[in-house]
Structure 1
Amino acid sequence: MGLRARRAIASVCILAFLTFYIWAVIAVGGHVPDHPLATLAYYGLAGTLWGVPLLPLMSWAEGKPFLKRTKG
């Protein structure tokens, strides 16, 4: 599969994932206690952690192995 096709597929997958992720964060955010520090911690983590599941997809889109294992 060519690099352009990988990037196109990855772009669509990222948009789909982020749509679901934002919906889930908002839905769960309604159950967070009304304390300002709890809200800050929740949305701070949610706003930071969205990229972690996308790292393997972005690595695949560029044609590079995500976790390069070396023998030794």
Structure 2
Amino acid sequence: MPQRIRKLIGTVLLLALMMIWALVAMAIAQGRVTDLPWALQTVSYIVLGTLWVIPAGLLIRWMERPNRTRS
């Protein structure tokens, strides 16, 4: 698959990932995190806010792969 197509697909998937992640994180924060002590709430918000970087990084790595050259 050409890199140009991978970037298009990856961009759409990144936008979808961020929207879905934000909704899931908000649902978790509203349901479970509000009952925790303030220190655990802080840790939970930090984890929920940064954990999306792992799948996004894998997706970006896939998008940036060079094209295969045919021999």
Q: Which structure features the higher share of helix residues?
A: 2
After superposing on structure 2, the runs of 4+ consecutive aligned residues of structure 1 that deviate more than 6 Å are none
TM-score by length of 1: 0.77
RMSD of the alignment, in Å? 1.4
Structure 1 gaps of 5+ residues are: 65-72
Matched, 1:6 2:6: yes
- Count of aligned pairs: 64
Aligned-pair CA distance for 1:5? 1.2
Higher normalized contact order (CA 8 Å, seq sep 6+, divided by chain length):
2
Write the letter of the residue equivalent to 2:11: S
Specify which of 39, 48, 54 is matched with residue 37 of structure 1: 39
Q: 1:9-65, CA deviations, whole angstroms, 9 ceiling, x for partnerless residues?
A: 10000110111110000000012124221221111111121111222211110116x
